[in-house]
Amino acid sequence: MHELKVIEGQDILVTCSYTAGNPPSTTVYWTKQNSYFRQYQQNLTITNVSRSDSGTYVCFAENTYSSGRKGTSNNTLQLDVQYGPTVNGQTVMVSEGQQARMSVTVTSNPASNVSWFRDSNLLYTQRFVNKVSTYSISRTQCNDTGRFRVIASNGIRNNYSTHVLLYVYCSPRLNPLGNSVDIPVGNNKSLDGDVTILSYPQPNYKLTLPNGAPNTHIGLSISTNTTNIFRITLRRSNIQPEDYGLYKLAVSNGYGTSTVDIRIFPRSRPLKADQVLAFCGSRKAHVTWQSSYFGYEDQKSFVQYSTNLNSVVYSNDSGITSERIKQELLHVTVSSLQDSANYFFKVVTINRYGFSLSSVVNCTTDTSKEDTSTAHVTVGAVLGILLALSITALAFMCYKYLKESKAKKGRSGPYDAIEKGKTDDTNPYEKYQYRETENHELSMKNLYSPEPKQKDQVIERLYENTDPIKSPKDKIKPKIKPKPHKIPKPIS
């Protein structure tokens, strides 16, 4: 028997050799065992040989001699068609914790060496495989879900590969494992963050506030990274201060539920100070504002001021204020300002990522304390002069009234007696005569200075002689009260 090895796809030509008999006329043909193949020619010819052509071929040589008898001779050829491996994989589905038995069918001639890989990691190698190759995981985990690569080689064809898919049903959880995710927001104030979830099948998701209230501002979407890894994206443009904080992301499927803490915080220049107010006094101003601090990045602030709203350059207040309490009300005093000037103020807030400027407020400083004191002195002097004039006018009116009373003649009554000295009573008014000075000013020296020895009597008689008189002619003319002088307001 002769053996011939050929590679699939080649052409073959095999000649059947024989020695002729007597008579020399010979018939030559080829057959294949266990088939209907028959080829009447000396040469066995097969083009583009395939693996199905493998087998045992027999060459026959025949002649006819002596009364029709046939003489026969044969020779055997073993045809071995060799080919590279083909591998057929399968899909395996198990629940987390169960055993996974994965296998492939390998067809090749000669037998192949088979290797199992997960990504680029070699898991297992099996030699001279020509039927089935198997790899097992005794206790599966959620992250075992995925593709396993199988590579077969036999020298005719090397590194022929296929994949086996393993699906492990499991509840969703954060990937990599953990309980929380931090999502920073940059200077553009846009939220665009991802949360990676390990799960099979794809989970449902819901974002809520810590108190359970539903989320109404942040948009969510989900996409698939691989078979069991999903990306949940959180987005919001122009994020507001109230959007920062802690959220709860609930993820669930038919195999379980888990909750992930989501912390959204700024990693950018601070938000601008709010509620900025300015109150001016004399050569100084008090500036107040509400801190934009939210408990994430350390930040400081200071006040700038200028007398020109559109000025490019603002002066800095020397004080630096550390902001460490959320929404704290802060204030500074800016000193050494000009009198009666309009100032514009703004609060500069800084952290390690940059700075922000508040809205501009303004106020006007007062006049200085020195000017105010001078105004008060001037007002006091004017009031003093007015008071002296009022006293002088009152004395003059009293003098005029008494003089007119003495000039009256022929009248009866107590005043006539007092004037003529015809009464026996002691007259208290005789001791209180008005006299004019050399400067013709009214003297009131004795008006309120009775003699000590008759003090009580004078006071008593004074009230006795000032009783109302019933006669219209004898009525005493009432004193005219001077009009009060209006005191001017102090100059502010």
One digit per residue, the tens of pLDDT, for the chain of length 492 reads 789 999 999 999 999 988 888 888 899 999 999 999 999 999 999 999 999 999 999 999 998 887 777 888 899 999 999 999 999 988 999 999 999 999 999 999 999 999 999 989 999 999 999 899 999 999 999 999 999 999 999 999 999 999 999 999 999 999 998 999 999 998 888 999 999 999 999 999 999 987 888 898 899 999 999 999 999 999 999 888 788 889 999 999 999 999 999 999 888 888 899 999 999 999 999 999 999 887 888 899 999 999 998 887 788 876 899 998 988 999 999 998 999 999 999 999 999 999 999 999 999 999 875 544 444 544 455 455 555 655 665 565 656 556 555 555 444 443 343 344 444 444 433 333 434 444 434 333 333 344 444 444 433 333 343 344 444 444 445 555 555 544 444 443
Identity of residue 245: G
Does residue 485 fall inside a structural domain? no
Number of Cβ within 10 Å of residue 102's Cβ equals: 19
The predicted pLDDT at position 72 comes to 87
The predicted pLDDT at position 300 comes to 94
Give the C-alpha separation, 194 to 177, whole Å: 15
470 Rama sector, left if φ>0, alpha if ψ -120 to 50, beta otherwise: alpha
352 and 299 in a common domain: yes
Does residue 464 fall inside a structural domain? yes
Q: Could you tell me whether strands 229-236 and 219-226 are parallel, antiparallel, or unpaired per DSSP bridges? A: antiparallel
The predicted pLDDT at position 439 comes to 40
Q: Which residue has the tokens 């200077």?
A: 187
Final residue before a domain boundary, out of 149, 170, 191: 170
164 and 179 in a common domain: no
Give the C-alpha separation, 81 to 109, whole Å: 8
37 and 69 in a common domain: yes
Does residue 376 fall inside a structural domain? no
H or E element, residue 299: strand 299-306
Q: Tell if the pTM clears 0.85, that is, is over it.
A: no
Strands (E), 19-156: 27-32, 38-39, 43-46, 55-65, 69-88, 91-95, 100-109, 112-118, 121-129, 132-137, 146-153
The predicted pLDDT at position 398 comes to 59
The range of the structural domain enclosing residue 115 comes to 89-170
356 and 279 in a common domain: yes
Does residue 389 fall inside a structural domain? no
**Reduced 3-state DSSP string for 344-381:** EEEEEEEECCEEEECCCEEEECECCHHHHHHHHHHHHH
**Residues 271 and 291: beta-carbon distance below 8 Å:** no
Positive or negative, the CA dihedral 29, 31, 37, 43 is negative
461 and 404 in a common domain: yes
Give the C-alpha separation, 44 to 33, whole Å: 14
97 and 166 in a common domain: yes
Number of domains in the chain: 5
Give the C-alpha separation, 53 to 241, whole Å: 79
The predicted pLDDT at position 470 comes to 46
Give the C-alpha separation, 396 to 376, whole Å: 31
213 and 160 in a common domain: no
Contacts of 122 (CB under 8 A, 6+ apart): 115, 116
The predicted pLDDT at position 370 comes to 52
CATH code assigned at 196: 2.60.40.10
Q: Which residue has the tokens 């296929």?
A: 162
Number of residues assigned to the chain: 492
280 and 208 in a common domain: no
Number of Cβ within 10 Å of residue 431's Cβ equals: 13
The predicted pLDDT at position 396 comes to 59
Final residue before a domain boundary, out of 346, 366, 386: 366
Identity of residue 127: R
